[in-house]
Amino acid sequence: KNQVEQSPQSLIILEGKNCTLQCNYTVSPFSNLRWYKQDTGRGPVSLTIMTFSENTKSNGRYTATLDADTKQSSLHITASQLSDSASYICVVIPSGNTPLVFGKGTRLSVIA
Amino acid sequence: KAGVTQTPRYLIKTRGQQVTLSCSPISGHRSVSWYQQTPGQGLQFLFEYFSETQRNKGNFPGRFSGRQFSNSRSEMNVSTLELGDSALYLCASTPQWQGEYGYTFGSGTRLTVV
């Protein structure tokens, strides 16, 4: 069964600190893996996208890594800001005629 | 370039009623998919349409239905509403089938069933 597990479920960090969010998946084969940021009450916004052959992708202070052998991905946030407070969702897009598989997200709170 | 537009943004309905939600994709995008998001379950896939045809369907009861028009706009209908249908309903569009080019989400419709 295609599944995406994210950890931790929630996280509180001080402004300016770094953090890493984890995503483990069992989807195979897959087309690409994406990290989305979702503010409360809004739709998810894409942060990074990686194909199975890519190891890392950066978008400003966000860096995603992918290990296709262990089926793990991580999202590293550098020098966190208050505006980083949101849910971060890992999404795996399978190959073939199968819908997206979502993780349940990590709720990040950045405090001053 | 306009994003994905969902209307209405908020909706309050009574148990037993039906509701229709609308989604206008990004111009040129031919695929529209729908998702239900609740605090406990996260995002769950409802269905995906491409060129007016339903290409995939999630594990939801038949009370949930949808359609896509020739201009790629899509509607989702929920009949005989239940309290558990209260959720944020999101739609996403992508240029082609399979989402290789990425999905863009709308801001969602917050449905509350009382």
Mutate to test the interface with A, among B4, B26, B98, B110 (most CBs of A within 10 A): B98
Mean pLDDT confidence for A45-72: 93
Say yes or no for a CB contact (<8 Å) between B107 and A98.
Answer: no
DSSP string, A46-108: EEEEEETT--EEEETTEEEEEETTTTEEEEEE-S--GGG-EEEEEEEEESSS---EE---EEE
> Quick one: pLDDT band at residue A30, thresholds 50, 70, 90?
confident
The more confident residue out of A31 and B36 is B36
Inform me whether the C-beta atom of residue A13 falls under 8 Å from chain B C-beta atoms: no
> Quick one: pLDDT band at residue B99, thresholds 50, 70, 90?
low
Mean pLDDT for all residues in chain B: 92
pLDDT score recorded for residue B95: 84
> Quick one: pLDDT band at residue A47, thresholds 50, 70, 90?
very high
Beta carbons within 10 angstroms of residue A58's beta carbon: 13
- Residue A6: closest CA among A69, A90, A84: A90
* Contacting residues of B for A103, CB less than 8 Å apart: 42
Report whether pLDDT(A74) > 80: yes
- Residue A101: closest CA among A73, A64, A80, A61: A73
- The beta-strand segments (E) located in B18-97 are 19-24, 31-38, 42-50, 53-57, 64-68, 74-78, 87-94
Structure tokens at B18: 């039906």
Chain B residue closest in CA terms to A100: B45
Say yes or no for a CB contact (<8 Å) between A98 and B56.
Answer: yes
Mean pLDDT for all residues in chain A: 93
Rounded to a whole number of angstroms, the distance from the CA of B70 to the nearest CA of chain A is 22
* Contacting residues of B for A34, CB less than 8 Å apart: 102
CB A47 within 8 A of CB A36: yes
Mutate to test the interface with B, among A50, A93, A98, A101 (most CBs of B within 10 A): A93
Inform me whether the C-beta atom of residue A89 falls under 8 Å from chain B C-beta atoms: yes
Q: Which of B41, B92, B98 sits opposite A31 (nearest CB)?
A: B98
